[in-house]
Structure 1
Amino acid sequence: MTRREFTRKSTMLGAGLAASNFLVFAGKRAVRYADLNLTVPLPIQIVIDDVGWWSGKDGNKRQEPYRTGIDRNHVPADYQAIVDLGRKLGVRPQAATILCEWDRKNILREVPTITWMREKWDNSKWVGPWLDEAADIIRNNQSHYELTMHGVGHEYWADENMTRAEWADRSGTMRPLDQVETHLDYFEKLLHQNQLGSFPTAFVPTAFLHGFGLTGTHPISMAEVVKKRGIEYINTPFSTMYNAEGAQFGVFGIDSGVITIDRGEDLLDWNDIGERPSGVLTGPTCGLHWPNLLHEDPLRNTEIVDAWVNLLKPYNDKPETILAGNSSLFRNQLIHHVCTKVQIQENKFEIDFRETHTLKDQLSDTRLTLKIASDSALTFHSEDVTLSNVKTHQGRNDYLYTLEVDNSKGLDSAWVKFESS
C-alpha cells in the first residue's frame, strides 16, 4: 500500500468517527434559552506534519522515506509560511518535525535504524546556509511557530529495507524500547546541534502509527516513554491508533498522564501542493502536511497561506468553535468542551466544573472560553468567577459574545448573570 493509499484509507475510516464526535460534543455543550444560545466552543488547533525535510522527493521505492512527496526541494520560505499562517490567524501552529536532514556532523551514522544509509549516512548535501536561515525563522517567531516532535528519519530500518514507521509498526506496537530511547536521544542531539530549543512538549507519531496504552510485550507505553522527555500531548488519528477504544473521553484519552487527542480527518491528501483548501473541519484538529501549505513556486507560498486563512478565520465567528491560540489553550479548552457543563436559568447561567476537576492535572490554568449568541446586546457579571476579554461579533440582527472565564477559586460550580445593555 502506498503512503497516499494508506493516508486516504485512514482518513476515510476516521471521517465518520470524527464528524460524529464533533456533532455530539458540540451538541452536549450547547444550551438554548429564549433568544440566547450558550456554548463551550470546540477549540481548533493547526498541526502541520513532515516539516523539516530539505528534499521533497518521495523515496519509498528506493527504501527511503516518503518525505513530503513533492517535486522540489524545501527552502527557508517554507518555514516562513508556517509563521505567516500563525501570525495572520493569531495562533501558534504546531510544526511536527523530522530532523535527519538537519544533521550537520553525520552523527546518525551511529544509529543504523534511523536512516536508509545506516552506517554510511552522509548528509553533506543538505548542510548549507539554508539551515541557519530556517533556524533563525524558527527561533525568532516562537509566538507563531511550535516545533513539535515527529521523528528523526520517519521510518525504521531493521536491515536494508524500510519499514513503517519510526516509533511503532503497522499494528501500533512500539519499536524495541532501547531503540525508541536512542532515537529520542538523537532527536534531542539534533535540536541542540542546530540551536532549535529544548525538547518539545507535543508529539505527532510518524505515519500515524501509535498504540494507546501498552502494546506487544512492552512493560510501559509509548506515552510513558515520551512523558519522561517532557511530552505532555500526543496528536494522532484514532482511526489508525491501536486500542483507540481505550481513550476515555471519546475525542481524547489520558495515557500514562499524557493527553492523546484524535486528529480526525485532514482536508487534503498528504502530498497535495498548490491546492486551495475547501471543506468543513470535523474535529478539534486542522491537520495538514507541509506541502498543503505551500506552492510549487516558493515565492507564491503566500497565496496558499492566505487561502488557509480565509478558510479558518470564520471558525472564530461561529458559536460552536474557536481557533486555539496555542497548544496549552487548546488542551484546556478541549477538556472544558467535553467535561464542563452549562445551563441557563432566566437571567443567569451555571457553569458546572465537577467532571472537569477530575482532570485538573491536565489543565495548565483555570481559564476557559464560552460563547453566547443573543438577539440583543448584553452585559455579564459574576461574583464567583472572573470575566474578561469580552469580544463581540455583531451581525445584522444578532450578537456573538466570546467570554473568557477564570475559575481561580476552584469552584465546582459558578453562576454568571447577564442583562440587556
Structure 2
Amino acid sequence: MNKEDLFCIPHSFLLVVDDVGWWCGDDHRYKNGPSRSGIGRRHCIEDYKAIVEIGRSLNMRVKCGFVVGEWDRCNLLAKVRNSNKHGALWDNASQLDPQIDEVRDLINSSKDYMEIALHGVMHMFWTDEGIMKYAEFYQTCEETGKNKMTPPDIVREHLDAYFEILRQNGLTTDIKSFIPPCFRYVYSRDKDQLSAILSEYGIKYISTPFSSMEYTSPEKPEGACVENGIITVDRTNDLIPWDAVDAQTPDIIKKSYFGMHWPNFLNKDPEKNMETVARWIKYFEQYKNNFEILPARDNAIGSTQALYKRFTNLSFCDGRMVLDFSEVDAQGAKDLDGTLYVNIVNTINPKADEAVDLKIYEVHENYTTYKVERRKPFASKAVISFAG
C-alpha cells in the first residue's frame, strides 16, 4: 500500500454561494443596471431558509457572498460615488422589501449555518457619467485589457458604505472574508493593491477562481497563497452557470471549495425550494466520507486547511510522518491558526511528538480525521509515529 493511501492532509471543501442579499432577482444589465442574481423573481425568506437547510445538512457555515445595496434603509448610496446608476437620485428607502426585518432575524439566528462575506454594495461600478462597468473593485483598462483597480479612496467609500448598511439593518459587521464581484481580482502582495485595503477592514480570507485571477507576482499562485496577511484560496471554476435556476447536480466531486450562485439551488417557485435543496443535499453527501476531502466547519478552517495543504512538506520514513511547516509559516498569514486536519487509516494508531496535540475529530468507516494543533511557540516540524 502506498503511503498516500495511509494518510494525507485532505483538501478543504467549503460551500461558497455568491449573490446573496439581492431582493430583486432580475438581471438589468440591458438597461445599465446590475446583473443581480438572475433568478427572474423577487427573493424572499424561503430563499434564505434554503441556505440554512444546506448548511445544517453539512454542519457547515455556508460562505455567502452578500450584496447590501438593496438593504439601504437611509439612501446612503446616493452619496457614495460610482455605486449605482442613479447617483444622487438613488432611492431604496421607499421600496424596502416587507420581509426585510424577518429575513434579518433569520440571518442573525442562523449564524451556525451561514456566514456573510463581503461581495460589494451593488456588485458593479458606474462611471462618473453613469455607465455600468464590470466590476465594483476592478474594471478593464482600455489600454492594456488588464484589470484596473477602482481608485483607493472610492474603494474605501464603498467599504465604509457596506459596513454602514449592515449596521443600519442590525446585521453583523464582523466580516472576515471577501469574494470579488464577477471574479475580477488581482493577487498582489504590494501595498497599493486591494488586498492591502481589505486587510485594513479586517478581511483575513479571500476566495476566487485562480483561473481568472490576475497577479503581480513572478508566478501565478496555486491552490492557496497569502497577500498582505490575507489567505487567498482557489475556489476553482464553478461547475454550474451563475444564472442556472433549479440546477442539476454535477457528476463529479471537486477537491476544493465548491462555488455556486444563489439561484442554483433555488426554484422559480420559492415554495418548491426544498425540492431543489434536497437534490443538492444528496449530492453533497459524497463529500462527507471521502479520504481526500475535509468538509470545513467554516471559512476560517477551510482557508487555513487549504494553506497547510498547499505548503506543508509531508514525508514518511521509518514508520513516522514528518510535517514540515516552514513554508507555511514563511507565507506571512496574519494571526495564523496552528490547527490543521489529517486523515489516517484506521489500521494505524498515531502518536504525536511534543510539537503538536493530536485529537480525534471524526471517525469514519475506514479512516479517522485527526485535529492537529501546533503548540506555541510554533515549531517548524512535527512528527507523528505510526503503530499498527
**TM-score scaled to structure 1, two decimals?**
0.84
Alpha carbons 1:32, 1:38 under 8 Å: kept = no
Structure number with higher helix proportion: 1
The answer to whether residue 277 in structure 2 is matched with residue 302 in structure 1 is no
Name the CA distance, whole Å, in 1 between partners of 2:324 and 2:200.
33
Report the identity percentage: 29
TM-superposed CA distance for 1:49, in Å, is 0.6
How much has 1:273 moved relative to structure 2?
A: 0.9
Query: Is it true that 1:162 corresponds to 2:132 in the alignment?
Result: yes
Match of 1:119 among 83, 88, 91: 88
Separation (CA, whole Å) in 2 of partners of 1:363 and 1:177: 25
Q: Is the 8 A contact 2:231 2:304 kept in 1?
A: no
Matches of 1:281 and 1:363 in 2, distance apart? 31
User: Aligned pair in 2 of structure 1 residues 372, 275: CA closer, same or farther (>3 Å)?
Assistant: same
Gaps of 5+ in 2: 141-145
Residues 11 and 293 in structure 2, CA contact (< 8 A), matched pair in contact too: yes
Unaligned 5+ segments in structure 1 are 1-30
Is 1:369 the equivalent of 2:341?
yes
Distance 1:91 1:121 in 2: 37
Structure 1 residue 97: Cα displacement? 0.8
Superposition RMSD in Å: 2.2
Deviations 1:48-98 (A, max 9, x none): 111111011110000011111122110011112111111110111111111
Q: 1:250 to 1:36 in 2, by over 3 A?
A: closer
Q: Greater CA deviation, 249-258 or 137-146?
A: 249-258
The aligned amino acid for 2:185 is H
Going from structure 1 to structure 2, the CA distance change for 1:169 and 1:411 (only over 3 Å counts) comes to same
Q: Report the AA paired with residue 160 of structure 1.
A: G
Letter aligned with residue 225 of structure 2: G
**Which residue number corresponds to residue 389 of structure 1?**
360
Q: Which residue does the alignment assign to 1:341?
A: 313
**Which of 370, 373, 378 is the matching residue for 1:403?**
370
- Give SS of 1:153's match: coil
Map Cα deviations across residues 3-35 of structure 1 (whole Å, 9 max, x no partner).
xxxxxxxxxxxxxxxxxxxxxxxxxxxx934x9
Q: 1:199 to 1:380 in 2, by over 3 A?
A: closer
Matched, 1:205 2:180: yes
Question: Within 2, Cα distance between the matches of 1:251 and 1:349?
Answer: 23
Write the mapping of 1:142-157 to structure 2, written as runs, cut at 5 A.
Answer: 142-157=111-126
Return closer, same or farther for 1:249/1:163 CA change in 2, 3 Å cut-off: closer
Matched with 1:359 is: 331
* Alpha carbons 1:223, 1:258 under 8 Å: kept: yes
Match of 1:89 among 33, 58, 65: 58
Equivalent-residue separation in structure 2 for 1:51 and 1:308 (angstroms): 17
Q: Distance in 2 between matches of 1:390 and 1:240?
A: 35
1:324 deviates by 0.9
Superposed CA offset, 1:341-378 (max 9, x none) = 2233344322222222323644542221111236xx33
One-letter amino acid of the structure 1 residue matched with residue 58 of structure 2: L
Give the SS at the match of 2:322: strand
| Residues 86 and 244 (structure 1), Cα distance of their counterparts in 2 relative to 1, 3 Å cut | farther
Structure 1 pair 245/317, CA: closer, same or farther in 2 (3 Å)?
A: farther
**What's the CA shift for 1:381?**
2.3
Distance, in Å, in 2 between the alignment partners of 1:314 and 1:362 is 33
3-state SS, counterpart of residue 305 of structure 1: helix
Count residues with an aligned counterpart: 380
- TM-score, length basis structure 2: 0.91
